[in-house]
Structure formats: C-alpha cells, structure tokens
Amino acid sequence: MLGYDAARWHAVLNDLPAALLVVAVLFDLAAAALKRESLMWAGIWTLWAGVIGGWAAVIAGELASDAIDHGEGIHEILEKHETMALLTMSVFTVVLIWKMIRRFGLPPQEQVITRALSVVGLVGLVWTGILGGRMMFEHAAGVPTKTLQAEILDRAAGHDHEAGEEHQRADTTKTVPPHTH
C-alpha cells in the first residue's frame, strides 16, 4: 500500500503510539502529583490515542514478521519483541478499559493500581523498543537480503571525504578501528 511493505508500515506506525503512551503515563503521574483534573483528562485522551495506535503498530509488526528476510538471530529477538509488544499493549488496554468501566472516576486505591500498571506498561514499552532496535540496528531486520548484500559491497568499497569532513564517531561504547581509506 502506497509503495510500503509490511516492515516499513511497522516502522511508520510504531513511534507515535509509543510516544503517546509515555506521555499518557507522565500526564497521569503529574495529575496525581499536582491534583489537576486537566492533566488527568490529557492523560486519558493520550492513552486512548496511544492504545489505538499501539495496536495498529502491533498488527503491522505481526504482518512484517511474516514478510521480512531473517535468520535465527533475528528470529529469537523477534519472538521476544512480539511477546513484549502483546503484553505491553495488553497492560495499557486493561488500564484504559478499567478507567472506562469506572467512567474515569476511580477511587484512590484503584488510581494507585492503574498508575502502577501504567508504569509496568511503560517498562514493557521501553524493553519492546530495545528489542526492536536491536533487530534493526544490530541485525538489519526489515532490510531485504539483496539490498543488504549491495550495501555491504558499497561499504567495503569505501569513499572519499573533502578536507575537514572526516567521520565523527558518536558511539563511544564500542571500540571501532579507525576509519581508513
């Protein structure tokens, strides 16, 4: 659809809902701390949008998992990523449904429980993102094998820089041999 395959649709759909869910939790915690009804409603509407978008991202991810080229390394991470995405979205969905059933007027003890569940969902969201990032940036998930092979050859061929345009290495956590031409 629109020239995008399943993996690209997943990439398009997964960032905004994740951001909305993070902000929904922050609004909810701020509403509790500051006793502001406006923050509570901002959290509810943001949670709504995050849950709807999150499930769209999960569906796109499920479609992508069946469509991408991958070996055992990606497959192992993919299974964990899928499980975490389903668990995380289930937690946020339970929180939303719980609030809807109570017509958004939860007693204080239930507010504590839903906030705790939201924080658990937030931790799940972060872990899901870490696993997705690991697949993409360490294993090139979603990159067709033919494209990846061409990129490997292109990188091996090297390239030239103008004076003063050498690479700046941002990642200082891994030791990488110096760039040579």
Quote the pLDDT of residue 72.
86
Q: What is the pLDDT of residue 170?
A: 59
Q: Which amino acid is at 152?
A: I
This prediction's pTM: 0.82
pLDDT tens for the 181 residues of the chain, in order:
555 688 888 989 999 999 999 999 999 999 999 999 999 999 999 999 999 999 999 999 999 888 888 888 888 999 999 999 999 999 999 999 999 998 888 899 999 999 999 999 999 999 999 999 999 899 888 888 898 898 888 888 888 878 777 766 655 566 656 666 6
Per the CB < 8 A criterion, the answer to whether 1 and 61 are in contact is no
Give the separation between CA 51 and CA 104, rounded to whole angstroms: 16
- pLDDT for res 50: 98
Q: Is 138 helix (H, G, I), strand (E, B) or coil?
A: helix
Domain topology for 6-142: Four Helix Bundle (Hemerythrin (Met), subunit A) (1.20.120)
25: tokens are 């939790």
The predicted pLDDT at position 179 comes to 64
Pull the structure tokens for residue 39: 């923050």
pLDDT value at residue 166: 74
pLDDT at 66: 83
Question: Residue 125 to residues 68, 95, 115, 146, 151: CA-CA distances in angstroms?
Answer: 22, 14, 15, 32, 31
C-alpha separations of 178 from 136, 158, 168 in Å: 24, 13, 11
What residue ranges do the domains of the chain occupy? 6-142
For position 27, what pLDDT does the model report? Answer: 98
